[in-house]
């Protein structure tokens, strides 16, 4: 019988070297969340829209040839694309891209100036909600017991006061403006954040690493600041992105009913309030600020949904 050499055979089966190799790169929780976020096409489009609106709100009024407060009575309710032919105007020879309003003011400049005001109010209010809600909810959830009951009952009392009443009272005491709206919204806007953080802290404080930190003598302040609040960050970030459109809508609503930004300043809400007066004749004066409000709120809401999906470990593949 002919002898068959081993060199003519190839080993087929599990390879020890391949079995020990790492099948996928090691990623932290944040890196994995960002990777999944970048795969979400809708969230990326929303990020681009938010950045575009923010950049235009910051820089468009700076480089515009028209002042948002300047009134040109020779160009009242000019249609979109009208060229300014008044030599006495600083923007002579330039185009009113979105036309002018009933006082001859350039709508393009006012839209982006209003966007600057609306986005500033929304972002600052969201940051105030983040700080107050995280601190209050963290303390209430960690200590629990009687302190937790008292702090939660205070939240219910504050939450029972209508937001509009608080704004009206502040408008009677303080000077109307951005600061007043931010204060009014911040007085009640942080309550959902506090409840969210409190619920997360109550669940996290039962974990073993919290017991280990307490056994090593860590103070409650250190445990809350270094262990509990950072582990609620993913949920808190999603809540912040969803609170920004809520603040934008609140500001627009207040400005629409005449309790918002005083003249000659403008916001998207005040521009919509002025546009509704001439909607039948000049619909663009209402449609343009309404589209900006709707687009911003939609972008932030869908971006918040994308962040929620990215930070959810159950959706990891």
Does residue 18 belong to any structural domain of this protein?
no
pLDDT score of 52: 93
User: Which range marks the domain in which residue 269 is found?
Assistant: 38-64+106-315
Of all helices (H) and strands (E), which one includes residue 310?
helix 284-311
- Identify the segments of the chain with pLDDT beneath 70: 1-2, 11-29, 86-89, 91, 312-317
Does residue 248 belong to any structural domain of this protein?
yes
Does residue 87 belong to any structural domain of this protein?
no
Does residue 101 belong to any structural domain of this protein?
no
Does residue 89 belong to any structural domain of this protein?
no
pLDDT score of 49: 92
Cite the beta strand spans of the chain per DSSP E: 82-83, 95-96
Does residue 83 belong to any structural domain of this protein?
no
The residues near 239 (Cβ < 8 Å, ≥ 6 apart) are 192, 193, 196
DSSP-derived letter for residue 190 is: T
pLDDT score of 48: 93
pLDDT score of 317: 53
Number of domains the chain is built from: 1
Distance between CA atoms of 183 and 176, rounded to whole angstroms? 11
Q: What is the CATH number of the domain that holds 57?
A: 1.10.3720.10
pLDDT score of 74: 75
Q: Dmax of the chain from CA atoms?
A: 112
Distance between CA atoms of 185 and 13, rounded to whole angstroms? 66
Asked whether the beta carbons of 80 and 97 are under 8 A apart, the reply is yes
What are 106's strand-pairing partners? 100
pLDDT score of 99: 83
Does residue 284 belong to any structural domain of this protein?
yes
pLDDT score of 51: 93
Asked whether the beta carbons of 33 and 234 are under 8 A apart, the reply is yes
pLDDT score of 55: 93
Does residue 290 belong to any structural domain of this protein?
yes
Asked whether the beta carbons of 260 and 270 are under 8 A apart, the reply is yes
Instruction: Of 98, 145, 131, give the one whose Cα is nearest residue 292.
Output: 98
């Amino acid at each position: 019988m002919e002898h068959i050499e081993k060199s003519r055979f190839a080993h087929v089966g599990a390879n020890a070297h391949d079995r020990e190799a790492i099948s996928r790169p090691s990623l932290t929780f944040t890196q994995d969340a960002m990777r999944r976020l970048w795969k979400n096409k809708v969230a990326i489009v929303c990020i681009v829209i938010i950045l575009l609106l923010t950049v235009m709100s910051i820089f468009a009024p700076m480089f515009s040839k028209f002042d948002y407060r300047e009134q040109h009575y020779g160009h009242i309710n000019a249609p979109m694309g009208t060229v300014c032919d008044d030599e006495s105007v600083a923007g002579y020879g330039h185009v009113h891209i979105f036309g002018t309003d009933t006082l001859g003011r350039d709508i393009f400049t006012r839209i982006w100036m209003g966007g600057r005001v609306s986005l500033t109010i929304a972002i600052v209010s969201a940051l105030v909600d983040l700080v107050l809600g995280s601190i209050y909810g963290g303390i209430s959830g960690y200590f629990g017991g009687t302190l937790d009951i008292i702090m939660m009952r205070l939240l219910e009392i504050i939450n029972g006061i209508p937001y509009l009443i608080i704004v009206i009272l502040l408008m009677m005491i303080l000077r109307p403006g951005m600061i007043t709206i931010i204060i009014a919204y911040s007085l009640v806007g942080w309550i959902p954040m506090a409840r969210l953080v409190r619920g997360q802290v109550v669940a996290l404080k039962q974990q073993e690493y919290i017991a280990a930190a307490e056994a090593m003598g860590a103070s409650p302040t250190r445990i809350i600041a270094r262990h509990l609040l950072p582990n609620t960050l993913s949920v808190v970030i999603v809540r912040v992105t969803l609170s920004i459109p809520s603040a934008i809508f609140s500001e627009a609503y207040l400005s629409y009913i005449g309790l918002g930004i005083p003249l000659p300043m403008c916001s998207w809400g005040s521009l919509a309030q002025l546009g509704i007066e001439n909607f039948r004749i000049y619909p663009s004066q209402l449609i343009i600020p309404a589209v900006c409000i709707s687009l911003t709120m939609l972008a932030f809401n869908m971006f918040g949904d994308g962040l929620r999906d990215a930070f959810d470990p159950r959706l990891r593949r």
